[in-house]
Chains A and B, each alone.
Chain A
Amino acid sequence: MVATRRRVARDFQAPPLTHADVEALSARYDEPEWLREARLAAWDLYESLPMPTTQDEAWRRTDYRHINWESAGVLPQANAGRFEDIPAASRQPLLGEQQGGLLAFVDDQPVHYEVNEALTRQGVIFTDLRTAAREHPDLVRRHLMTHAVTPGSGKFAALNAALWTHGVFLYVPRGKAVELPAHSIFYTTRPGASLGHLLVVLEEGAQIDYLHENLSPTLDADGSYIGAIELLVGDAANLRFVNLQDWGHHVYEFSHQRARVGNGGQLDWVTGQMGGRLIKAFMEIELDGKGSWGRMSGLYFPDGKQFMDLDTQQNHNAEHTTSDLLFKGVIKDEARSVWQGMIKALPGAQKTDGFQANRNMLLGDKARADSIPGLEIEADDVRCTHAAAIGQIEEEVLFYLTSRGIPRKEAEKLVIDGFFVPVLDRIPFENVRDRMMDYVERKLMGQDDPAQA
């Protein structure tokens, strides 16, 4: 028996999408039959699952009832987006003049595609997911939502599986160490639903650095991003992946991101979360292979009325695995962040070493951070530790810096830059680090949320 509240509360509503939308999308792009069937099966699963509510443990702190699906649930229509619409800073090459490839989308359409021939020669595939499904059906079919993120990972994972509108496929063949980094951008220009998908496959001994960015200006009607990221790191492969998110403040993101790492494989994963109205992201590393290593680093800076809920898991599924997590956040104005982290060690995952640390700095009395570390250890010979902290910039620190002639706002920025340095140092691209510093400055100077202006 559920008590009825007198206050009229909105339900956790589903977007107004239908089976017919799945059929239409698949038909519009003349997708292969296996893909159409996979979409329809995912749709059936999606329909069978309830919308998550704050009654569900993983969603307890994430109330998205204020989303307006009438705007945020509308699928994109083809439009005349251009590469030049994307902010220039994001279009720059990652290393000096060179990059391995740049793949950019405006709304759901690929608008820019370049791949350095050095990559092509190595047999690297870096293309949009729809083209990949057509040209490399075996590879895509084998990996797409089959063992990292699956439709069963959650309601929104199933929705992404049924209706992904655009995506990136990055494939590095066995033994190929790619020197130049790959870079992709999803840029949205209109409200409505956007369902992006990243599928990254590194075969045994492969190596690459990859940056993906999600960007949009702030628009005046709600938008949604139902995303999925799949990172498949083979035996002895090495992936450095950086994911930056700077949505406009109208975007609600619900995403599932999961990596699998094989024997002796290494994954260095950094996420930078700046934008969005509400972010709910599940980020998981499955250390499947003996001796595999996974590092997750996060930097987040919500301000205004932003809400970010980052849910991480470090799963030690084999022996001699090592995971290391560091998430650092600054929360300003009336913003709120949630970090929930879990380290799991399966029975038999002996000699595992798991670490997680979450540190938050609050700017202002109304800012709030929740930090919820967790351990579930079923092996007996392991070392798993965690640390969590929430604090503010100490007045003594600001006094010290201002006593050297640095104005207070700049002193705050210096402290916050310093706070983020341990995470920024893990981003292998200097111009991306600089850009993150610029984001931080923009946030601190209060120029970010138009609602605050």
Chain B
Amino acid sequence: MGAALEIRNLHVSVEGQPILRGVNLTVQQGEVHALMGPNGSGKSTLANTLMGHPAYEITAGQLIFDGVDLLELETDERSRLGLFMAFQYPVAIPGVTVANFLRNAINARRRAENPEDKGIPIPAFRKLMTEKMDMIQMDHSFAGRYLNEGFSGGEKKRAEILQMAVLEPRIAVMDETDSGLDIDALRIVAEGVGRLSGPDLGVLVITHYQRILNYIQPQFVHIMLEGQIVESGGPELALHLEEHGYDWLREKQNGTGEA
């Protein structure tokens, strides 16, 4: 039995403004879920909250990962537990190379397990980097570039996938990984995710386009409107959404009454 990420009745505010209003969702290792919804529905808030961004205030609810209360953990601890978020807008870190950054991330994991750890030996690290870069068809010169600095949109997203490949999370949240990518870049990124997926990886793909789901095929699709998941179903739900938009859901919402 793999680990699960359980989101229970999650309420989140930003600067006093309620954004998430009772989200329930469980993602198991090995499953691929898609979370769709229009802009402003709260998808990215959910991603950032899962990772522990300080600007998001949890007013009610629980986040459980592999039986552990995530709300008790700092962002770095959540990562080391096996949670990963691919950022919609990866941040540039001038002067810090991709390789140096990844080595730091790996060594942080090793030291958390064993405070005496001396860090990953350089040859082993090089081998790991090369393997993972090859896996997602990344030029090796990437390793020496400053993280995300001057990267194109596609390069940034690929660097996110590289980090995911190196850190081997149990659950990965992909926050609008498809945004701003042309179709070729999208394909490369999605194929990279495809290569990483398997029984040990649970994925939550956040998007408002169906197109990425042609490459990363979800078993479960959820639709978020105004801070709640209003509909869940199989892959056919995404196709239905593509065809009919969100209005039928809004009507359905209003019809059932919100009171």
Contacts and interface: CB of A to CB of B under 8 A. Distances in A.
A397 B91 contact: yes
A403 B85 contact: yes
B167 A405 contact: yes
Interface residues of B, number: 30
B187 interface: no
Contacts of A407: 74, 76, 108
A399 B101 contact: no
Nearest to A396: B91
A417 B76 contact: no
Interface string B72-102: 0011101110001101001101111000110
A32 B55 CA distance: 71
A87 interface: no
A91 B87 CA distance: 46
Contacts of B55: 395
A405 B109 contact: yes
B54 A415 contact: no
B163 A419 contact: no
B76 A418 contact: no
Given A410-B104, A410-B108, A402 B96 contact: no
Nearest to A422: B95
B129 to A, nearest CB: 15
Interface string A405-438: 1111011001101111110000000000000000
B75 to A, nearest CB: 4
A445 to B, nearest CB: 14
A399 B85 CA distance: 11
A408 B101 CA distance: 14
Interface string B128-166: 000000000000000000100000000000000001000
B95 A405 contact: no
Contacts of A397: 91, 93
A326 to B, nearest CB: 13
Nearest to B95: A418
Interface in A372-400: 394-397, 399-400
Interface string B21-33: 0000000000000
Nearest to B75: A402
B250 interface: no
Contacts of A396: 91
Contact of A399 (B75, B80, B167): B75
A406 B53 contact: no
Most buried by B among A394, A403, A411, A415: A403
Contacts of B75: 399, 402-403
A396 B56 CA distance: 13
A98 B76 CA distance: 43
B167 A404 contact: yes
B3 interface: no
A410 B105 CA distance: 10
Interface of B: 51-55, 74-76, 78-80, 84-85, 87, 90-91, 93-96, 100-101, 104-105, 108-109, 112, 146, 163, 167
Given A414-B100, A414-B104, 13 more contacts: A395-B54, A396-B91, A399-B91, A402-B79, A404-B101, A404-B167, A405-B80, A405-B109, A406-B105, A408-B76, A415-B93, A418-B96, A422-B95
